[in-house]
């Protein structure tokens, strides 16, 4: 299928305008705001074991105790009392595509999960509002013992596994927003890949916020057992509303010896959403974890996917691309902690700031004593498209070991007149030329994404570039 | 040069508003300055002591620093000729750069100063701040605290409240001073030293000025707290060197800030070798279009030293250029912090700004290097980049040298000299370079497998 047709099919043209279905709910907390009663209500409604309720209530205490970060983006307008912390959609888990309610299907259709793609998208755990409503998994995976379900289901059916790992990579008191998520989490994915199993086709989940003033607090836990491989794709889109929304997820990944996890995200939350997400992975002996992280939407994103290299020979890679348009602040980046010998890491960040947008790279590279022969490289490139645009780079580099090689580089530039001139002399309009330069700039990251995502990314950039010249 | 009896309150531990007032009265200062000192004292009192929770101090633990334990003022004997200065100070002078003017601050007081006839004829002024206040009050009133204001941070507030001695250099319009001007700060008593440097280089003038800090070995902790304000006028040129080589009983805090006029140039070099804990803020304000700031830094930390540099290249106008290179070596259990920021303010188009920090860790797993090279860019037509690397001595370089018959220890030394050579080769001051080479050699000592004795 030619690219243009795919774009049509995906309905991407509607993305930037947002859309919403009539709100019909099965259950939601009786009031906005957060207290112990609300948390208990959520837990009770989900019929959770006692320990999870305790976990939630302890997390709530941490949330209250933890200060709101004073660094990063402006959080002053975020009103925790104006948010519904739990909404459960009208229908429960669908068994097959046909069981999925019609209006939700319509939403997916417009989001670009068409029938045609379902053939290749082996499993779809899609989150509508706060709960996974649609879920399918190929039979051969079930046979090989792969678990891919929503987090609530994971807690019900694999309680021991969940209890062993849940909150161990990101403890509830890690930061204010991780604490908030831990208190009110709902939905998200639970993935377990048994030893030696390679899942060739990416696991995919779409998330979507669809109720005004509604927070979404999904929680994902992925365990890749020894020698296994999994690629998980999380995509977010949200319709545009006028008041602030909050998305605060927690994602924990565990890559056991020789395992490899790749986790790809493109977030395109509407421009009034606060996207405050904690993502962290542990890579054991010779394991590899890769984060591919694209940030296009939201009003403010604060997200720094992390890899802790705890086993010898482990590798971490973070690819981050951020696009900050008018009024947006993308405070993104990555963290790598080398805690074992012969570990290696690479962080590549590309950001584009346009209009009054602000793109910030914030990262940490830490090499602990004893992490001999650690190698790390951090590369940040920023492109500025407008006089009022802003870009920042805040890389923290902490080295406690002498036998290391660490490098950090960053460059900032604008689109060169000569680049534009050359393209325009070939008959491209200035707008097209600009879009082409920008797409070329993010190409190293786009090529790491599955095809449909790469197209989506390019198309979104193109849409954003419309009217950017002249 | 004080001949009067120093009041008891200045010679006792602790500082208060009363002490600040007494200090001002003792120096016979004008009322506006007394008021300014008291204002600074109030700011100091209102400002909480920085902790590890403050971003600018997150690696630099100063919870043990008890300012109230230090004696605010320590007198020294006046001397009439260089030969009467302490031997160690004379050695510093003879081993250093050739100079055309010289000022020695011994503890809290100016012990000796000399300015070549020729400079005086050209209208160059070089005195301590108290003399300058008597002879050039209007100029001092206009410039002092202009670049390091009382509310810059807690230590700057203290400096404004309790400074004494210090130096003032004024180079009139169009005057080129060929031979460097030098001030030495010498500490040989328990207590504190709080000098301030004020340099005003008028339009089209040029000068090289060096602040050097050194002390006699001591057991009791001592406290050095300074502020340096450098004004470089239109088309003028200033080369500024700060060489900090205190003994280990000294805690050193210093803030160096410059502003450059249209097409002006400042070349700074900040060297930090000594003291137990050394925190230096180096900030270049590229205030007018076409100005240029080269910022070099060299540090070498051993045993359990903590050496911290915070730099800022503040581009406020278009077409300015700044280039920063800070290189540091670490050994033993030392900790170094480099935090650098390039800030391009809105409208500062055609900015060219570069920043590089390189660290080398020598023969230890206990050292800790922190590098924070930051950018904040608010204009689009700019070229900015920064880089940071941390690693050990390159084994292939060592191997190459050793294959030529050079013993390992010697080879390591050569590699470290080569590492710092990138900085020192950019300083056209042979005397200073030699001094640095000797200091680096001393730091390398017997090699990296053994602690510095």
pLDDT the model gives residue B229: 98
Tell me the average pLDDT across A354-376: 94
- Asked if A346 reaches chain B (Cβ–Cβ under 8 Å), the answer is no
Which candidate from B59, B385, B388 shows the least CB-CB separation from A412? B385
* N- to C-terminal Cα separation, chain A: 33
φ, ψ of residue A170 to 5 degrees: the values are -125, 95
Q: Give percent above pLDDT 70 in chain B.
A: 97
The answer to whether the Cβ–Cβ distance between A412 and B382 falls below 8 Å is: yes
**What pLDDT does residue B335 have?**
96
pLDDT score recorded for residue A81: 86
For B:9-68, CB contacts with A below 8 A are 55, 59
The three-class DSSP label of residue B302 is coil
* A137: confidence class by pLDDT, cuts 50, 70, 90: low
In angstroms, the CA B225 to CA B194 distance is: 5
Separation CA A327–CA A143 (nearest Å): 49
Sort out which chain A residues have CB atoms less than 8 A from B377's CB and list them: 382, 384, 390-392, 412
- pLDDT: which is higher, A420 or B195: B195
Q: What is the mean pLDDT of residues A242-263?
A: 88
Give residue B448's pLDDT band: very low, low, confident or very high (50, 70, 90). Answer: low
- Give the closest-approach CA distance of A355 to chain B in angstroms: 11
Of A445, A441, A446, the closest CA to residue A458 belongs to: A446
Most confidently predicted of A33-42, A106-115, A267-276: A33-42
> Tokens at residue A388, please?
């009022």
pLDDT on residue B413: 87
Looking at residue A23, its pLDDT comes to: 47
B376 lies in a domain?
A: no
How far lies B160's CA from each of B163, B310, B374, in Å? Answer: 6, 20, 29
Which residue do the tokens 């010998």 mark?
A341
Determine the pLDDT at residue B44.
97
Q: Of B196, B192, B170, B195, which is closest to residue B181 (Cα–Cα)?
A: B170
Q: Is B12 left (phi over 0), alpha (psi -120 to 50) or beta?
A: beta
A278 and A305 Cβ atoms separated by less than 8 Å: no
Please tell me what DSSP assigns to residue B5: P
A19-28, A186-195, A288-297: range with lowest mean pLDDT: A19-28
- pLDDT for B37 equals 97
Q: Residue count of chain A, please give it.
A: 470
Q: Are strands A315-324 and A300-303 parallel, antiparallel or unpaired?
A: unpaired
Q: What is the DSSP letter of A94?
A: B
Percent residues over pLDDT 70 in chain A: 74
**Number of separate helices (H) and strands (E) present in chain A:** 12, 23
Q: Which residues, 6+ apart, have CB-to-CB distance to A247 below 8 Å? A: A209, A215, A216, A217, A236, A238, A269, A273, A274, A275, A276, A277, A298
Over range B236-244, report the average pLDDT. Answer: 98
Alpha-helical segments (H) within B144-289: 154-162
The residue among A239 and A149 whose pLDDT is bigger is A149
Size (chain B), residues: 453
ipTM: 0.79
Residues A388 and A156: their CA atoms lie apart, in Å, by: 51
| Residue of chain B whose Cα is closest to the Cα of A386 | B380
* B337 lies in some domain: no
pLDDT band at A133 (very low <50, low <70, confident <90, very high): very low
Query: Percentage of chain A with pLDDT > 90?
Result: 44
Question: Per residue in B330-375, pLDDT tens?
Answer: 999 999 999 999 999 999 999 999 999 999 998 777 899 999 999 9
Q: Please answer yes or no on whether A396 and B370 come within 8 Å at the CB atom.
A: yes
pLDDT of residue B446: 61
What is the rounded CA–CA span in Å between residue A177 and residue A301? 12
Spatial separation of the C-alpha atoms in residues A97 and A106, rounded to whole Å: 12
Q: What is the pLDDT of residues B45-68, one digit of tens each?
A: 999 999 998 989 999 999 989 988
Nearest chain A Cα distance for residue B363, angstroms: 7
CB contacts, 8 Å: B385 with chain A = 409-412
The pLDDT tens digits of the residues spanning B22-36 come to: 999 999 999 999 999
Mean pLDDT score across all residues of chain B? 93
Q: Which domain holds residue B166?
A: 8-288
Q: Mark yes or no for CB contact A402/B372 under 8 Å.
A: no
Distance set, CA B425 to CA A419, B76, B417, B418 (Å): 37, 37, 11, 10
pLDDT of residue B260: 97
- Separation between Cα atoms, residue A169 and residue A278, nearest integer Å: 10
Structural domains counted in chain B: 1
Please, are residues A391 and A411 in contact by the beta-carbon 8 Å criterion? no
User: Is the minimum CB–CB distance between B391 and chain A shorter than 8 Å?
Assistant: yes
Q: What is the per-residue pLDDT for A71?
A: 87
- Residue B353 placed within a domain: no
Q: How far is CA A60 from CA A63, A179, A282, in A?
A: 5, 6, 25
Q: What is the pTM of this model?
A: 0.84
Residue B331 resides in a domain: no
CB within 8 A of A64, min separation 6: which ones? none
Q: Which residues of A181-201 are buried (b: 16+ CB within 10 A; e: fewer)?
A: bbbbbbbbbbbbbbeebebee
With tokens 């070329």, the residue in question is A440
Q: Is B367 in the A-facing interface, judged by CB distances under 8 Å?
A: yes
In a domain, residue B452? The reply is no
Among A46-60, A208-222, A232-246, A418-432, the minimum mean pLDDT is found in A232-246
Sequence-distant (6+) residues with CB within 8 A of A362 are: A72, A304, A331, A332, A333, A392, A394, A395
CB pairs under 8 A between A and B: 117
* Three-class secondary structure of residue A242 per DSSP: coil
The answer to whether the beta carbons of residues A185 and A151 sit under 8 Å apart is yes
More confident residue, A363 or B452: A363
- Give yes or no for B394 touching A (CB within 8 A): no
pLDDT tier at A114, thresholds 50, 70, 90: very low
């Amino acid at each position: 299928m030619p690219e243009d047709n795919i774009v049509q099919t995906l309905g991407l043209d509607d993305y930037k305008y947002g859309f919403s279905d009539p709100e019909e709910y099965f259950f939601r907390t009786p009031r906005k705001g957060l207290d112990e009663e609300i948390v208990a209500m959520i837990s009770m409604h989900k019929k959770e074991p006692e320990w999870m309720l305790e976990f939630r209530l302890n997390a709530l205490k941490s949330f209250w105790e933890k200060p709101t970060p004073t660094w990063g983006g402006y959080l002053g307008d975020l009103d925790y009392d104006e948010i519904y912390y739990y909404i459960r959609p009208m229908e429960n888990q669908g068994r097959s595509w046909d069981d999925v309610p019609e209006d939700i299907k319509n939403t997916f259709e417009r989001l670009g999960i068409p029938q045609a793609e379902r053939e290749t998208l082996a499993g779809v755990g899609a989150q509508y509002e706060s709960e996974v409503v649609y879920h399918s998994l190929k039979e051969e995976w079930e046979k090989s013992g792969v678990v891919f379900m929503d987090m609530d289901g994971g807690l019900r059916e694999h309680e021991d596994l969940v209890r062993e790992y849940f909150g161990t990579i990101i403890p509830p008191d890690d930061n204010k927003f991780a604490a908030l998520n831990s208190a009110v989490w709902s939905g998200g994915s639970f993935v377990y890949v048994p030893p030696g199993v390679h899942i060739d086709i990416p696991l995919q989940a779409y998330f979507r916020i669809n109720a005004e003033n509604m927070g979404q607090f999904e929680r994902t836990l992925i365990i890749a057992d020894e020698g296994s491989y999994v690629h998980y794709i999380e995509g977010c889109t949200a319709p545009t509303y006028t008041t602030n929304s909050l998305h605060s997820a927690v994602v924990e990944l565990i890559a056991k010896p020789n395992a490899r996890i790749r986790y790809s995200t493109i977030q395109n939350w509407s421009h009034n959403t606060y996207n405050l997400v904690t993502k962290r992975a542990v890579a054991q002996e010779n394991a590899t974890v890769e984060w591919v992280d694209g940030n296009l939407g939201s009003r403010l994103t604060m997200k720094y996917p992390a890899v802790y290299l705890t086993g010898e020979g482990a590798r971490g890679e973070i690819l981050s691309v951020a696009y900050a348009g008018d009024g947006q602040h993308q405070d993104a980046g990555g963290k790598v902690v080398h805690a074992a010998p012969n570990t290696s890491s690479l962080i590549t960040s590309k950001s584009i700031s346009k209009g009054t947008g602000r793109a910030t790279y914030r990262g940490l590279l830490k090499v602990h004593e004893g992490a001999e022969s650690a190698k790390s490289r951090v590369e940040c490139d920023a492109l500025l498209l407008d006089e009022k645009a802003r870009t920042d780079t805040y890389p923290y580099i902490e080295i406690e070991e002498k036998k290391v090689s660490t490098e950090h580089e960053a460059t900032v530039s604008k689109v060169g007149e000569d680049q534009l001139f050359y393209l325009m002399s070939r008959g491209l309009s200035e707008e097209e030329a600009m879009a082409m330069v920008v797409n070329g700039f993010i190409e190293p990251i786009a090529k790491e994404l599955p095809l449909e995502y790469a197209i989506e990314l390019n198309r979104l950039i193109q849409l954003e570039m419309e009217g950017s010249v002249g | 040069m004080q001949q009067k009896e120093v009041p008891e309150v200045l010679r006792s531990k602790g500082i208060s508003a009363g002490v600040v007032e007494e200090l001002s009265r003792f120096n016979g200062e004008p009322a506006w300055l007394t008021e300014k000192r008291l204002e600074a004292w109030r700011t100091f009192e209102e400002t909480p002591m920085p902790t590890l929770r403050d971003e600018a101090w997150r690696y630099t633990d100063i919870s043990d620093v008890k300012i109230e334990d230090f004696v605010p003022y320590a007198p020294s004997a006046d001397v009439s000729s260089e030969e009467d200065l302490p031997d160690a100070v004379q050695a510093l002078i003879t081993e250093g750069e050739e100079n055309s003017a010289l000022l020695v601050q011994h503890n809290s007081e100016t012990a000796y100063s000399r300015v070549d006839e020729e400079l005086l004829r050209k209208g160059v002024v070089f005195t301590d701040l108290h003399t300058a206040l008597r002879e050039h009050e209007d100029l001092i009133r206009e410039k002092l605290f202009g670049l390091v204001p009382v509310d810059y941070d807690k230590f700057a507030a203290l400096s404004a409240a309790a400074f004494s001695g210090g130096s003032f250099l004024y180079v009139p319009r169009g005057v080129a001073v060929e031979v460097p001007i030098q001030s030495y700060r010498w500490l040989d008593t328990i207590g504190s030293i709080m000098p301030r440097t004020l340099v005003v280089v008028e339009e089209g003038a040029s000068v090289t000025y060096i602040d050097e800090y050194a002390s006699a070995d001591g057991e009791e902790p001592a406290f050095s707290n300074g502020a340096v304000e450098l004004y470089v006028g239109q088309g003028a040129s200033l080369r500024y060197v700060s060489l900090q080589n205190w003994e280990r009983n000294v805690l050193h805090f210093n803030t160096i800030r410059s502003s450059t006029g249209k097409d002006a140039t400042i070349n700074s070099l900040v060297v930090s070798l000594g003291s137990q804990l050394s925190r230096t803020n180096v900030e270049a304000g590229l205030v007018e279009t076409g100005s240029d700031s080269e910022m070099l830094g060299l540090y070498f930390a051993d045993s359990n030293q903590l050496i911290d540099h915070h730099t800022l290249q503040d581009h406020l106008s278009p077409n300015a250029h700044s280039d920063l290179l800070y290189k540091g070596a670490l050994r033993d259990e030392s900790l170094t912090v480099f935090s650098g920021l390039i800030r391009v303010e809105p409208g500062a188009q055609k900015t060219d700004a570069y920043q590089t920090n390189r660290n080398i860790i020598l023969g230890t797993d206990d050292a800790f290097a922190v590098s924070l090279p930051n950018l904040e860019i608010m204009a689009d037509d700019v070229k900015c980049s920064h880089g940071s690397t941390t690693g050990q001595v390159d084994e292939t370089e060592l191997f190459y040298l050793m294959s030529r018959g050079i013993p390992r220890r010697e080879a390591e030394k050569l590699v470290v000299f080569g590492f710092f050579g990138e900085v020192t080769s950019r300083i056209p001051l042979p005397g200073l370079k030699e001094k640095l080479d000797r200091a680096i050699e001393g730091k390398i000592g017997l090699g990296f497998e053994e602690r510095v004795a």
